[in-house]
Amino acid sequence: MHARGGITVGRVDNRKRPREFLASCRRVEFPTGLSLRGASWRHRLDLDPAPDFVLALLGRPPMGAPWPCRWVRWPDFGLPASTDAAVLAVREVVERGREERVAVLCGSGVGRTGSALALVAALTGVPVEEAIGWVRRHYHPRAVETPWQRRWVVATASELSGP
């Protein structure tokens, strides 16, 4: 980070944010009865009970995952490197979540996790135009943090739901 004309420019380091900013492990119950957990990768060891499967939405491959894990390259505050890979992973989360304890994690547990959970919401019966608001009410008020994440959720969910 550096100052330019009195304005600080650069990325925010979430490791320096208070813990309250980070999403503690939260259980989300979808309209179909599907139950998933969302959380911060940094606090993954706080997950109790331990998940059977984790979807890790991170810019780098996850290190130190003590459970089965699928990684989708998704940089902080950005979009997935591959929408196809993200959709495939979200569908796997929905399928596995019917029988297993599944968690969706990103760095802070807010933007990327919220985006994936909004896509799950759309796939499980929440109207596309309401999916982001639904996740903000049921998971975290700042879920799906950036304008491009919001556009990605709407476009991808619309594509998946068809005409």
Q: How far is CA 61 from CA 18, 78, 96, 119, 156, in A?
A: 25, 16, 21, 22, 24
pLDDT, mean of residues 91-117:
96
Beta carbons within 8 Å of 94's beta carbon, 6+ residues apart: 34, 120, 123, 124
Q: How many CA atoms lie within 13 A of 43 on its CB side?
A: 21
Residue 78 or residue 1, greater confidence: 78
Question: What is the structure's pLDDT at 19?
Answer: 42
Confidence at 65, pLDDT banded by 50, 70, 90: confident
Residues 4-40 have pLDDT tens digits of 444 333 444 444 444 444 556 789 999 999 999 999 9
